[in-house]
Amino acid sequence: MRGSLRERSPGVWELRVRTGRDPVTGAYGQVSRTFRGPKRQAEAALARLSAEVADGRHSGTGQTVGFLLDQWISQLEAQGRAPKTLDGYRSLIKARLRPGLGHIPLRKLGPADLDAFYRRLLAEGLSPLTIRHAHAALSTALRQAVKWGWIDRSPAERASPPSVPHSEVKPPTPEEVDRLMDELERTAPDLTAMVWVAVTTGCRRAELCGLRWSDLELERPSIIVRRSITDTKSVGVAEKDTKNHRSRRLALDWPTVAVLYAQKERMKTRAAEAGVALVEDPYVWSQDPTCGSPYKPDRVTDSFRNARKRIGLDHVDFHHLRHFSATTLAGAGIDVRTIAGRLGHANPAITLRTYAHFLDVTDRKAAEIMGNLHLRTTPRVDVDAS
């Protein structure tokens, strides 16, 4: 690929090589360099620059990282991504990505720029996990830029975001769950019922908010988890499918059935006192007397936090009830696939990775079972194995 060479002053040369059309604007671009030295060396420098252009190192769009992020969000919207997910990305872009990287032209963005950005975020006090989330968003956006032909390779592939130390799940103890239930029973009976069902089923907060009475088969007894509730600035309160986009049926124990029957009677009484009728297919939990609208997930969290604060359990989150359910089952020897199904994990490997250290009890039981084998031939043991 040939370029042009122009002597601007004695011994100072301007090197120019055309880079082709910008894939976004359609305009032709060029890359230029200033070189100081004799003409023969300037010609060699021009040849090297031409080789770089031919190799694709200066191709792509002159648009900025900020432009890419805007187009990426539009692409996600067109693909129907969840409003909650989009709100999270928009918040991250506004607070961190655009101020830190938005001004940089895409074709000039390199791994060193990303690593310097991550170091700045660490210095500002952000956690490694938050920075990994930023890196994941950038990686996805830059991969999209590669697909669109805006850049040849994603610099995120060669960047080094901080590692996140593995932290083991720490579920609340049975005593702590009892204290929470006692406090909620005194102040928020509806939330008490929701917490109980969260403990016995392992359902997510948004899934519980999305339960309707038609999802319950109290005679069998079981529930079908087929939707969840999201509350976003752009859409407001809305139903969506579950996290893994699949419905699941969960068997219920009889105490949980009794709790749900009591919740149903409580909602009927509340509607009668308000002089209204329940809607045709009411939500199990609702702050509307007709039960026509779901309990908002964020309000569940706020009420739960207020209760835990009053009794000094600030370290317990609503999501920890899900951990309590999973670890209780694991400790009782329930197999990983069954636990994964109840939790709604798409892959049992997720369950195994999250709760592996709680499966030691199951492993010990397995060893005891094998140790109690009564085979006709048993190896002779001459050494005390105790």
Domain ranges for the chain = 4-54, 65-158, 174-314
**pLDDT of the residue at 165:** 77
Give 174-314's CATH code, choosing from 1.10.287.90, 1.20.1510.10, 3.40.50.300, 1.10.443.10: 1.10.443.10
CATH superfamily entry for domain 65-158? Tyrosine recombinase, N-terminal domain (1.10.150.130)
Q: Report the distance separating Cα 81 and Cα 87, nearest Å.
A: 10
Task: Give the residues of the chain that fall short of pLDDT 50.
Answer: 385-386
Place of tokens 């607070």: 95
